Amino acid sequence: MNVPAQEALSDAVVVKRVIDGDTVELESGLRVRYIGMDSPEMAERGVEGCLAEAAQEANNNLVQGKTGRMERDTSDKDRYGRLLRYVWLDTMQINATLVEQGLARAIAYPPDVKYQQELAIAETRAKEGRRGMWGDLCRTAASGDATEEQAVSPALPPVSECTIKGNISNGEKIYHLSGCKSYTKTVITPATGERWFCTEEEARAVGWRKAKDCSN
């Protein structure tokens, strides 16, 4: 995805609080709703959407306390007064990242459709990789067979290109590539905050560093 020209982006903003998988609050007090996508609801009619907590956690890991920039499409605010924006951290668009992780659906809300093709591609990758809501956990949860812990697990074993292991060792967040010596013996435990990544950029953006035993 091409990063927009600087003049299309807002001044730097800092995320103070993550509301859910698609809404954040800035230090200024303004709330921002990510556009072009929709994450599972935290509690709709008393029932939480599958992976709603995982989507919130992933969003929190990506943007909480981080400085980013926002991009407006056509609309400025929704009926709740929230800013409608694409959010960027350097070259990573948060909207598309959550969709590609399978923690949000790509949904067009005309007239704000600038990146809808890219978001649709991100969703296709998530489906092909059976990540997040497209994996077995949500289908199992829908049938009532999943445990609560399984239903909110933020990281599923990769099937496609998301093969980078995000391990937490003695409180330190370390990611392992397939070429790292310790890759094979490293086991990911989502319940402890460990997860899989699709790219090194994604891992670094949320505070992981590369393992020292990697060949490059």
Q: 13 forms bridges with which residues in the sheet?
A: 68
The residue from 17, 25, 31, 41 that is catalytic is: 41
Tokens linked to 150: 């399984």
131 counts as catalytic: no
CA 118 distance to own-chain centroid: 15
Give the architecture-level CATH label for domain 8-128: Beta Barrel (2.40)
Using the CB atoms, write b or e for 124-141: b if 16+ within 10 Å: ebbeebbbbbbbebbeeb
pLDDT digits (tens, 9 = 90+) for 29-64: 999 999 999 998 775 444 457 788 889 999 999 999
pLDDT digits (tens, 9 = 90+) for 66-83: 999 999 999 999 989 999
- φ/ψ of residue 207, rounded to 5: 100, 5
- The structure's pTM equals 0.65
CA geometry: angle at 87 spanning 111 and 197, to 5°?
120
148 counts as catalytic: no
pLDDT digits (tens, 9 = 90+) for 185-216: 888 776 567 777 878 887 887 788 999 988 66
The residue from 33, 85, 105, 130 that is catalytic is: 33
Query: Cα–Cα distance between 9 and 73 in angstroms, integer?
Result: 10
Residue 121: pLDDT band with limits 50, 70, 90: very high
Ordered by start, the domain boundaries in the chain are 8-128, 163-216
What lies within 8 Å, CB to CB, of 139 at 6+ separation is none
Which residue from 52, 54, 62, 50 is spatially nearest to 24, judged by alpha carbons? 62
33 counts as catalytic: yes
The residue from 72, 82, 139, 204 that is catalytic is: 82
